[in-house]
Amino acid sequence: MVFPHIYLVLVLTITKTSICVSEGWFLHVTDFHWDNTYTSRDLSCNGVVNTHGVYGDYWCDSPFSLIDVTIKAMKNATIDKAVDFMLWTGDSILHTGDEHLSIDNNIEMLTNLTNNLQQTFPTMDVYATYGNHDYYPNGQYPPHNNEIYNRTLEHWRSWINDSTQEELFLKGAYYTLKTKYGIRILALNTNLYYTSDKITAHMDDPADQFVWMENILEHSRHLSEKVLITGHVPPGVAAEGGKPWFYQHFNTRMVHILQQYSDIIIGLHFGHEHADTFRLFYDHSGQPTMAMYIAPSVTPWRYKNSKATGPKHNPSFRMVKYDRVSGRHLDLVQYYMDLPESNRQGKPIWKIAYTATHDMGISDISPKSMDNFATRTRNPHSQEFQNQLSWRNAKAEVMPCDAFCHSLIFCNFKKLHDHDFKLCLRETQQYTATLPFGRRK
């Protein structure tokens, strides 16, 4: 009589353990934009500074003190969690003119940040990609070997550590590696497709990255691998400005390739927008198939030019919970630093902006759940949309957002092609006009 009982306990224990073991976390940090001239020349600040706070100023890029406490806060956030790897999606250099920068300057800054991450996370697998600001001259990534790729690899070699992938990095700054739990990472150099890159504008496939990507994805499908895609500049249409970041032929091709492999792609993680947002891919029948998660920046910097001023932004990083076997994305915890409060108190005050499963009314962050949330933001008066507005800038401020502004944000979730996006803007504004003002639902 005793044996069946023991057997049952054993089975329960094993089942419970294996459920826990299959869940892991990863970190995502992006857009440090280190201004090493903060308080001396303020090169990133566009001629305006509020307070020169010890951890930074909304008008300026990150002082070193901010980078330092951010990396420490990331370390803190990993203490009670099984963190399998980190995504670092670039833009480490301040916003300023090329005349203030050089190859040596940019490599020096990149080296410092790399060393910092390696010292703080000595055993962490880090998948690092370049941002448009990391290159010198700004954004002009060439589709071939050059001094910057060579000198970066010297510092990223311990993370890449694979001769085939190192060759690809030297050629086009892209590579693929498998995590220790067998997820395939595709680390892309999408700066090659960004409209600020004058060198690649008329090319079909800069650095042969598209062909390479298709081959890897095809191979992964044969091997039944799960694939996570990471890079700096995201495909699709930016809510701010309402235009795709990529040249049109690149955006079309990228989206097309990704859509063909939605059965093995478990998630896409990008930076560049300095805003917290996401985009969805749909199949022919309108079912959501993939989600792209865009993480907000570390830099609090707001842009300013003769036409417009960007919103304030609190320094941020995030952690994502996923299933190590299926790759399903289970949850997202978004951290931010309350910049004014931290400056006032002279110590960093970190908070959680939201936890997806707690604050978004969804049970995980799968494409289906994200689509469910996105659909609820169609009404600009909805609590979901108002929350999204405050999360966009990591709770620094809720920008006034009229019907046009709402349609830009809503359609950025749903439409990846310029043409579809424009139709969506019109439709959404027509829908909003039918709503009773101020109605909350």
Ligand X SMILES: *[C@@H]1O[C@H](CO)[C@@H](O)[C@H](O)[C@H]1NC(C)=O
Interacting residue ranges for ligand X, rule: CB under 6 A: 64, 112, 115-116, 145-147, 150, 158, 161, 170
C-alpha span between 439 and 430 (Å, rounded):
16
Quick one: 132 or 407, whose CB is closer to Zn ion?
Answer: 132
**What's the min distance (Å) between Cβ of 66 and ligand X?**
12
| Closest distance to Zn ion from the beta carbon of 294 (Å) | 11
For residues 64 and 36, is the Cβ–Cβ distance under 8 A?
yes
| Total of residues contacting Zn ion (CB under 5 A) | 5
Among 272, 312, 328, 378, binds Zn ion (CB under 5 A): 272
Q: Which does 147 bind (CB under 5 to 8 A by kind): ligand X, Zn ion, none?
A: ligand X
The CA R_g of the chain, rounded to the nearest whole Å, is: 22
CB of 161 to ligand X, least distance (A): 4
Q: Give just the sign of the alpha carbon dihedral 74, 76, 77, 81.
A: positive
> In angstroms, rounded to a whole number, what is the distance separating the alpha carbons of residues 28 and 330?
15
Which C-beta is closer to ligand X: that of 166 or that of 427?
166
Contact partner at residue 272 from ligand X, Zn ion, none, CB < 5 to 8 Å by partner kind: Zn ion
What is the smallest separation between the CB atom of 64 and ligand X, expressed in angstroms?
4
For ligand X, the closer CB: 146 or 372: 146
CB of 40 to Zn ion, least distance (A): 22
Would you say 126 or 292 has its CB closer to ligand X?
126
- Minimum Å gap between C-beta 93 and Zn ion is 9
Site for Zn ion in 35-54 (CB under 5 A): none
Q: Go through 341-363 and write b for each residue having 16 or more CB atoms within 10 A of its CB, e for each that does not.
A: ebbeeeebbbeebbebbeebebe
Tokens of 416: 């990846």
* Residue with smaller CB distance to ligand X, 206 or 244: 206
Give 31 or 364: the residue with its C-beta nearer to Zn ion.
31
259-272 burial: b if 16+ Cβ within 10 Å, else e = bebbebbbbbbbbb
Asked if 91 interacts with Zn ion (CB under 5 A), we say: yes
Which of Zn ion, ligand X, none is residue 131 near (CB under 5 to 8 Å by kind)?
Zn ion
HSE-CB at 124 with a 13 A cutoff on CA atoms is 26
Binding mask 147-186 for Zn ion (x = CB under 5 A): ----------------------------------------
According to CB under 5 A, which one of 36, 132, 190, 377 is a site residue for Zn ion? Answer: 132
Please report how close the Cβ of residue 143 comes to ligand X at its closest, in angstroms. Answer: 14
Per CB under 5 A, the segment of 4-12, 89-97, 164-172, 396-404 that binds Zn ion is 89-97
Q: What are the phi and psi torsion angles at 256 (to 5°)?
A: -60, -50
Taking the least distance from each CB to Zn ion, the nearer of 238 and 280 is: 238
- Shortest distance in whole angstroms from residue 36 CB to ligand X: 6
> Residue 170 CB, nearest distance to ligand X (Å)?
6
Pick the closer one to Zn ion by CB: 91 or 384.
Answer: 91
What 3-state DSSP class applies to 78? helix
**Binding segment toward Zn ion, per CB under 5 A, in 1-9, 132-140, 308-316, 360-368:** 132-140
Q: For residues 9-38, which are near Zn ion according to CB under 5 A?
A: 31
Cβ closest to ligand X, residue 170 vs residue 405: 170
Nearest to 298 by CA among 317, 278, 275: 317
Single out the residue of 260, 284, 252, 258 nearest to residue 270, CA to CA. Answer: 258
Q: Does 61 bind Zn ion (CB under 5 A)?
A: no
Out of Zn ion, ligand X, none, what residue 406 binds, judged by CB under 5 to 8 A for its kind, is: none
Cα angle: 309, vertex 299, 177; to 5 degrees:
125
Binding residue (CB under 5 A) for Zn ion from 53, 131, 315, 348: 131
Contact predicate 302/58, CB 8 Å:
yes
- Show the tokens assigned to 385: 């949309």
* Partner that binds at residue 132, options Zn ion, ligand X, none, CB closer than 5 to 8 Å by kind: Zn ion
**How many helical (H) and strand (E) elements, i.e. helices and strands, does the chain have?**
13, 12
CB of 54 to ligand X, least distance (A): 14
Q: For 253-325, list the strands marked E by DSSP.
A: 265-270, 277-282, 288-294, 316-323
Give yes or no for a contact between 385 and 217, defined as CB atoms under 8 angstroms apart: no
Round to whole Å and give the CA distance between 236 and 305.
Answer: 24
Q: Do the Cβ atoms of 91 and 141 come closer than 8 Å?
A: no
Distance CA 26, CA 365 (A): 14
Interface positions with Zn ion (CB under 5 A): 31, 91, 131-132, 272
